[in-house]
Structures are given as structure tokens and as C-alpha cells.
Structure 1
Amino acid sequence: MSYSLRGTLIRSLLKVVTPLWLLICTLLAFHAWHEVNELYEEQQTLFAHQLYGTLPTLVARSEPQSVRPGDNDHQAMAVWNPRGQLLLVDSDGLELDARPGFTGFASLRQHDEDWRVYYLSGEAGSVAVAQEMSERWEMIGGLLLTQGLLWLLLLPFVLLALWWAVGRGLAPLARIREQLQQRAPDDATPLSREVPRELQTLIDAMNDLIGRVAQTLQRERRFTADAAHELRSPLAAMRVQAEVAQLVQDPQQRERALQQLMNGVDRSSHLLAQLLALSRIEAAQQQQDEALDWPLLLQELHTEVSALATSHHVTLQLPPAGHTQWPLQHGDQTLLLLMLRNLLDNAIRYGGGTVTLQADATRISVSDEGEGVPEALLDKVCERFYRPPGQQQTGSGLGLSIVERIATLHGLRLSLHNREGGGLQAVLTRSHDA
């Protein structure tokens, strides 16, 4: 299910900002309530002191005076002499009790209204100044309404600004999309990292993926080209032998042609197996890291190469089953078996005599007693499909390429040397020891 990143950001912002706005309004209301109360109570206190200053004049009069309040006055007052007799009162209808000797604020409720009253008492008498609480609530409500309206008026502009800012922030993604749409599948050129920091990890991951995809395509194309190139000649030869077998009448010639056909099938099968093995190894980024069972590996290795050694009249010498000195204790057992099998296969086919596999804590070596390889060709025999001139044995020219790739995956380095007594020696050592 697709969704809009802009919409998600805006909804998330509203979910966060709205509760914060409500919290701010609550705190503002408490602050406004405190400030308004403080302001009005200061006014009440000042007015009460002014009234108290008129007490001598009011005491001289014999009858209480009444003051008519203005419209929506929301206030009341009263003045008493030292004996508690009423001297002055407004006509708001509020009944205030005299509290001789009391100075301070008090709250009362009359006529369904809450009032706040300030009393000031002294030797000259007492004064009370009252105010409706609804007036204070009205002022606080006005402040909150103003703040709420301001928020509602600014909200559309804030959302538009956020929409524009998100669009500008996502502009690099649009450019990357255009680059990807115009890019060839095998183009390994990395994408530009000139993007916001939050997107750089994404770009790095995409560049890594682009590189791996390009490598995979290159391997597939190389595999297809190699297979087509190397299988063309064997297939043509097998077709010729098949036609010979169909046309000749001599049973011996037919048998010879069929045998050549079978040899061609074997060579093609071996070539395909080597090509597939090389393709899988090249696709591997790292080998499995498992504890190696060398006794089991040697047993499997002996089983796979002993028949070939017998057929070529080669004496095969492997370390005993209990041999524990190996340069690797962890790795991919299947790949290492393939690597050693290819080394022994090459030594048996192209060397001969006694083929020896030796190992210690730092190296593995496979040696034979053949004619060796000319020094000028030692660096070439590991190349793909390379076969030294004059080679009579069948092969694909991929064995040492596979060995070299598996060795690299395990941190080993392959080197070839001609022995002084004759023959070739292949040595695998740790890369940092080589």
C-alpha cells in the first residue's frame, strides 16, 4: 500500500503540535489567571486605601450615603465606622458584612455570582471592595480565544510552508529517480552523494546494490560468452563423430567414433561443471565460516581422486587422517574440497609420478614429478581457459582459476614453482605470510 511522505509528515506534525498547543493553552490559562487576579487585586487594594482615606469625612455625616454604580460595573463597595455602622454603600445590591479588625481577601457567593472581596480595617473604620469573578474569567477567555484564533489562522500557512519544505527536501530523490530511469542495467557508476545527510545511507546502500547487480550481469554475460566459445568446438567435434558413426560400415571404426563421441560428452560435461563452479564462486561475497573437519575432508578427497590416480598410474600421498596441522580451522568445507581436488586433478593429469599433498600450520602444498611448466608460462596458467602449448591431456583450463578464487575467499594466496628435482609445486599460504 503506497502512502504520501508529505501527508505522513504533516499528520505526524499535527499529532505532535496539537497536544503541545493544548498544553501551552493550559499553561497560558494558568498564567493568565494568576496575572489577572494579581492585577485586579492590586486595583481592589488601591481603591480600598483610597476609600479608607475618606473615612474621616464620612464619619462626620450622620446618615449613610449611597453610590449609584455605572452600567455593568461588576463591582461593589461598603464603608463602616469603628462601631460597625454602615457609612457608604453602592446600590448594586450586594450585601457585604462588616468585619471589624480584618484586613485581607475573602470569597463569597451571592445572587448566583462569585465575588472576590478585599477588607481593609483600621482605627478610622473598615472598607470592603468587591468584584465579580465572571469579569476576570471573561478577560481570560478573551486571551485564550485570541490565541486560539491566531493558531487557526496561522495553521494553513504553516501546513503550506511544511508542504513546500518537504517537497524541496525530497527533490534529490526525484533527481535520483530520473538517473535510475536513464541508467543502463550494467552501469556501475555510483549515484552522487550530494544529498541531505539523512539520505546518504540510502544512497550508499543503492550504490552497493548497483555495483552488485552490475557485477552479476557481467558474470552472467561472461559465463554465457565463455560457455558459447568453449563448447562450440567440442559440439562440432561430437557432431562429426556422430555422423561418422552413422556412415561407416566397419564396426571398429564405428566403435572408435562412438568412443570419441563419449569422450567429447565427458569433456563438455566437465567443462560445464567447471564453468558453473567458477560462476558460483565468483558470485560469492564470502565463504561460510564453519569449523573444518579435515579428517572427513581428506576421506572425501581420497575417494574422489583415487580412481583418477589409478587410471593414470600415479602414486597418491595424502596426510594421515589424524593430521592436525592445517593453516585453516574455519571456512567453507565444500569449497576447500573443490580447491584441493582441482589441485590434485591437475597434478595427476599433467604431472604424474608421485603426487603429494602436504600441510602444516602455515601452508598447503601439492607437488608432482612431471615435467613442470616453463618459467615464462607460470604466470599465465592461472588465467581462464589457458592451456600450455603442446598439452595432450584434456581439460577446460579453468581448474587453477577456481583454485585461485577459492583461496582468495579464504585469505590464501596461490603460487606455482618448478621443483629442482622436476615437477610442479602449487603452494597455498596465508595472504599476510606470502
Structure 2
Amino acid sequence: MSNSLRGTLIRSLLVVVTPLWLVASVLLALHARHEINELYDGQQQTFAQQLYSTLPMLAARQQGLPPEQKQESDHQAVAAWDASGQRLLVDSEGLDLDYRADGSGFHSLQHDGENWRVYYLSGPDGTVAVAQELDERWEALSGLLLTQSLLWLVLLPVALGAVWWAVAHSLRPLAVLRGALQQRQADDPTPLERDVPREIQPLIDGMNSLIDRVADTLQRERQFTASAAHELRSPLAALRVQAELLTLLDEPAARNAAAGKVMQGVDRASHLVDQLLALSRLEQQHDLPRQPLDWAQIAEHACQQVADYAAQRGSHIVPQLSGEPLAAGEATLLTLLLRNLLDNALRYSPPGSHIVLEVGPQQIRVLDNGPGIAAEYLAQVGQRFFRPPGQGQSGSGLGLSIVRRIAELHGLRLSWHNRSEGGLEVCLQPDSH
């Protein structure tokens, strides 16, 4: 089940922003409470100072009279006392404010289940008290937080819509890229444009690399298929001719000779198919299981596989082991590599030749004493189906291609050159790149 990138981004923003908003709301509430307390405390102190300034007038007016009753004021209460502690003023709510002549400051008071904050101001003329119900402060704070919450809830859909549009606009290059890929031919090697946001450029680079490899692979496969069809056409046509000849011949000797040629043609076609299948499998491999290698055993197996052919030609293979060029690899493929090199050396050397197989810590070499390769064809040797002109031996031209691919899979570099004393030297060395 695929997820929308835009939806994922929106959900991620909500997951990140919501806790941040909650933390910010808590910090805002703490700060607002502090500011509201400072504001109301300042108002109480100001009111108390104004009331204190009226004490002489209240004391003169209230000589022998009961305390003056102040008009009711919601959530507030006041009281005033002269220097002797006689009450001069009380509010009409009847809040019982105690007389305190021990200095100025704030005190807490609970009356009828309500919490009050009281400020006392004392001086030579007497004492005043200004009380305020704390619920009024909490109402102001809750109103502020409610306004902030409602604003968040109203702006949230707008913000999410804006983010959705911005993400969609930012992802437009991906839609353009998708359209370009849908219209592209599989073998089109043209790289994609890199005029995209910086975050998408690595993706474009990776896709361009993949496009180049796919186009190169398809091109090589077309060439491989065309060459394979051409190479198979000749032995199959020869087989058909020999098969038709068998139906026309009556003499046993002639029929046997034609049958022998048919068998040779079948062997050649079978060998070519085997080589094609081996190369096809190798081209599809990009990594190998690495196992410890026994090079003495690998060389022995490779020599055994070409021993019958060497005996037919009266040639000898001389293995020389002085070390191990690779500690780990795929033994079966390396045996195939050595077998192909030895088969080529036997095939293109005169009968009775000595073929040397050297396996050392720095390189693998196969040396023969054949005619070598003409200088103008050295660069083409190893290409699929290429065989230098004038060859008297049958072959598919795939042996060195298989060797090269196995060498690449093992990190080896394949090279060859004509020996000064005659013959060809094929060398495998660890690739330094």
C-alpha cells in the first residue's frame, strides 16, 4: 500500500507542530498569568495609595460616626482604619478584612469558598486594604487562552491548505519527470535534465546512470543476438547439407564420412550454444559468492578437462604453481577461465607443443608456442565472435569473452601479447582500479 508524499508531509507536520503548539500554549499561559498578576497587583497598589491619601479626610468626617459603607464593587472589597485601628471604611459586601498594622504587602484570604488577594498599605495616618477575588484573574487568563486556541483552530485548516499547495507546487518537477519517463523509449540513452531542485538531483543522477547502463545492455544484447544468429546459421546450414547428402549416398564409406561431418557439425553447434549460455549467465551476474580457493585443485581440474584434447594433439601442459593470486572467489568459474585459456593455447599451437600454466601470487599466465596474433588484430581479440582471419581451427570466438567476464567478476585484468621467442602470452593480474 503506497502512501502519498503530500499526505505524509502533512501528517508529519501535524505530529511535529501539535506538541510544539501545546508547549507554546503552556509557556504562553504561564507568561500571561504572570503578566495578569502583575497588572492586577499594580492596580490594587495604585488604588490602595489613592485610598490612603483620603484617610485624613475620612477620619475628620467619621468623628463619632459608624464606618462609612462603600458602594458594592463586584469582585473587590476595601477597608480603611485610622492610626489607632478604628475602622473608617468597609465595602457593602461585608467582607471581613482583618486589621493589620505590621506593614504593607500582599496576603491571601478565603471567604465563602472564594479565594481573595489582599493588599495592605500602612502609614502614619492609618491602614488601608484592597482585596480582589482571584476568579476575576482566572477569567481574564482563560479568555486569553480561549482566544488563542480558537485562532489556532481557525488558522490550522488554512495553514494545512497552504502547505498542501506548496508541497504540490514543489513536487511538480517529479510529475514532469514521470511524464518524461513514460514517453521515453527503453533504449533511449539521452540523460534526463538536471534542471530540478537540488534535493532531486541525486535521484536524477542515479536514474541517468541506470538509463545509460540499460541502453548499453540492450545495445550489447542486440549485437550479441545478431552475432549469435549469424554464427549458428553456418553450422546449421552445414548440418542440413550433410543430412541431405546422407539421404542420397548409398556407399557405406561415403555415408559414414557424411555422418562424421554431421557429428562434427552437431559438436560445433553444441559447443557454440554452451558458450553462448555460459556468457549469457555471466553477463547477468554482478556479484559472486566468495569462498576460499585451492589453486592447486583448480589448476588440476582445468588441466584434466582439456587432457583428452591435449593427448589428441600430442601436446603437454606444464602447470607451475608458486602462490595464490586470489584468496577467495568462485572455484567453478575460475576453472572455466583456465580451461578456456588452455583450450585456446592447445587449439592454436602446433601438435606436440608445451603449454605452460603459471599461477603465482601476482599473476596467472598461459604461454604457448603457436604463431601468435598479427599486430593489427591484437586490439580486436576478446570481442565477441571475433576470430583473426586465416584460422584453420574451428571456434566460436567467445572463449576470451568468457574469460574476460569471469576475470572482471573476480577483479582481474586480462591482457595478451606476442612473445619475443614466439607464441602468445595471456596474463591475468589483480586490477588496481
Cα offset, 1:32, TM superposition: 0.8
Matched, 1:104 2:105: yes
Cα offset, 1:36, TM superposition: 0.7
* 1:179-194 equivalence runs, <5 A: 179-194=180-195
Q: Deviations over 1:47-74 (max 9, x none)?
A: 112222222222222222112135xx32
Quote the residue 1:65 is aligned against.
68
Q: Deviations over 1:342-398 (max 9, x none)?
A: 111011111031111124333332222333333333333333322233322211112
Change beyond 3 A, Cα 1:32–1:169: same
Q: Residue 371 of structure 1 aligns to a residue in which SS?
A: coil
Change beyond 3 A, Cα 1:23–1:387: closer
Cα offset, 1:286, TM superposition: 5.3
Cα offset, 1:79, TM superposition: 0.5
Q: 2:317 is matched by which residue type in structure 1?
A: L
Matched, 1:149 2:147: no
Quote the residue 1:53 is aligned against.
53
Change beyond 3 A, Cα 1:201–1:217: same
2:288 and 2:156 map into 1 onto residues whose CA distance is 57
Quote the residue 2:171 is aligned against.
170
Change beyond 3 A, Cα 1:404–1:22: closer
Determine what percentage of the aligned residue pairs are the same residue.
Answer: 55
Cα offset, 1:335, TM superposition: 3.0
Q: 1:270 is matched by which residue type in structure 2?
A: H
Matched, 1:402 2:405: no
Bigger mean CA deviation after superposition, 366-375 or 49-58:
366-375
CA RMSD of superposed structures (Å)? 2.2
Change beyond 3 A, Cα 1:413–1:370: closer
* 1:28-427 equivalence runs, <5 A: 28-60=28-60, 61-62=62-63, 63=65, 64-70=67-73, 73-285=74-286, 289-319=290-320, 323-352=321-350, 353-409=353-409, 410-420=411-421, 422-427=422-427
1:381 and 1:19 map into 2 onto residues whose CA distance is 69
Bigger mean CA deviation after superposition, 106-115 or 344-353:
106-115
Change beyond 3 A, Cα 1:28–1:46: same
Cα offset, 1:238, TM superposition: 0.7
Q: 1:344 is matched by which residue type in structure 2?
A: L
1:113 and 1:339 map into 2 onto residues whose CA distance is 98
1:16 and 1:388 map into 2 onto residues whose CA distance is 70
Q: 2:346 is matched by which residue type in structure 1?
A: I
Q: Is the 8 A contact 1:78 1:88 kept in 2?
A: yes
Cα offset, 1:399, TM superposition: 1.6
Q: 2:162 is matched by which residue type in structure 1?
A: A
Change beyond 3 A, Cα 1:141–1:378: closer
Bigger mean CA deviation after superposition, 220-229 or 310-319:
220-229
Residue segments in structure 1 that go unaligned for 5+ positions in a row: none
The TM-score, its normalising length taken from structure 1, stands at: 0.91
2:239 and 2:83 map into 1 onto residues whose CA distance is 137
Report how many residues are paired: 427
2:286 and 2:280 map into 1 onto residues whose CA distance is 12
Q: Is the 8 A contact 1:404 1:414 kept in 2?
A: no
The TM-score, its normalising length taken from structure 2, stands at: 0.91
Q: Residue 27 of structure 1 aligns to a residue in which SS?
A: helix
2:154 and 2:429 map into 1 onto residues whose CA distance is 76
Q: Is the 8 A contact 2:224 2:384 kept in 1?
A: no
Quote the residue 1:21 is aligned against.
21
Residue segments in structure 2 that go unaligned for 5+ positions in a row: none
1:39 and 1:163 map into 2 onto residues whose CA distance is 42
Cα offset, 1:166, TM superposition: 0.3
Cα offset, 1:417, TM superposition: 0.6
